[in-house]
Amino acid sequence: MEQIERSWDLENYFPRDVAYSNDKKVIYDRLLNDTQSPFKGLEMQDVFLYSAIFGFLDGKPEILKERIPQIPISAFPEKSKSLLLAMAIAHSGDIDVLFDVSNVIKIVEQFANRGIILLEDLIKRGQIGDPEKRIESAIRTILKQKQGEPSSIEFEILKTGKSMSLISAFETNLRYLIKSRLSKMSADWENERIPDKVMVKRWMDNKKRAEKAQEFFLTESDLIDFSELGDLYEIIKWKKNWNDVFKSIFGDRDIFDSDMRQVIMIRPDIAHSRGATDIQEKKLEAIIEHRNQQIEKSLI
């Protein structure tokens, strides 16, 4: 019993770092730096976790050519560490695998090494705003091929995928709304209707970096496509834009502010693979459904 208690210490169980294969570094770079990637602005541990998930569901771990142990375990939240342990247990079929931490690390690293190929291939198919939906759809398809009800690890994956899809679709709708309505107010709306010029410069810098990077997503992009959810919120609530355009669409300003702050607050937990609670999930779905209906009505 004492051995089990000493071993089951997530804080100190893992080594300092987990590794990726040297030949996969370029893929990590593309997923983390390409503006159109859903992992843009996140960290290597986020890509590693999703890669491990896809490798686990695919069931085909792949040996690393050369281990590069540069992904700090301290960057993973406790829930993500538990997911990695669950993968190792499910793969080995025996909880005793936890007494061999080197084997646990080897299993999850090999799953991630296989899964990152599947993840990149999935993301490259399609247009802006689609990758998260394809990720969720792929996970659902895999799980449907399994017998019985999804396990707890699979359920958490589905929850995260659903939340990512909701927010991604909402961001896409907001971008389209802003572009379509403000362009009617001014032909030079990107200069006259954006409250923060630093914001626009950041979009331009992101676009330039994407153009210089190895071509990954073969799509045409407007400048606003390089914005973030917080940027869209600032544009809409800016007094000039709110009074002239968005008040008639979204109604009460205080309620809109509250809704947007809640979505923005929940988003980092989802993006960093911590998932959303049941309460957050229901709240997110209700807010986004309501605001999407308002957007759709305004565009008729």
pLDDT for residue 99: 85
Q: How far is residue 237's CA from residue 229's CA, in Å, rounded to a whole number?
A: 12
Q: How far is residue 138's CA from residue 134's CA, in Å, rounded to a whole number?
A: 6
**DSSP 8-state code for residue 227:** -
pLDDT for residue 164: 61
pLDDT per residue as tens digits for the range 225-246: 888 888 999 999 999 999 999 9
117 vs 274, higher pLDDT: 117
In the predicted model, is pLDDT for residue 299 greater than 50? Answer: yes
37 vs 151, higher pLDDT: 37
Confidence of residue 272 (pLDDT cuts 50, 70, 90): very low
pTM, two decimals, is: 0.50
Spell 46-78 as b/e; 16+ CB within 10 A means b.
Answer: bbbbbbbbbbbbbeebbebeebbeebebeebee
Q: For residues 142 and 57, is the Cβ–Cβ distance under 8 A?
A: yes
Region 67-84: mean pLDDT is 88
Confidence of residue 190 (pLDDT cuts 50, 70, 90): confident
Confidence of residue 19 (pLDDT cuts 50, 70, 90): very high
pLDDT for residue 269: 53
For 266, counting Cβ atoms within 10 Å of its Cβ (0-12 exposed, 13-18 middle, 19+ buried), the class is: buried
In the predicted model, is pLDDT for residue 254 greater than 90? Answer: yes
For 178, counting Cβ atoms within 10 Å of its Cβ (0-12 exposed, 13-18 middle, 19+ buried), the class is: buried
CB atoms < 10 A from the CB of 13, how many? 15
pLDDT for residue 121: 76
Cite the beta strand spans of the chain per DSSP E: 17-21, 67-72
Confidence of residue 265 (pLDDT cuts 50, 70, 90): confident
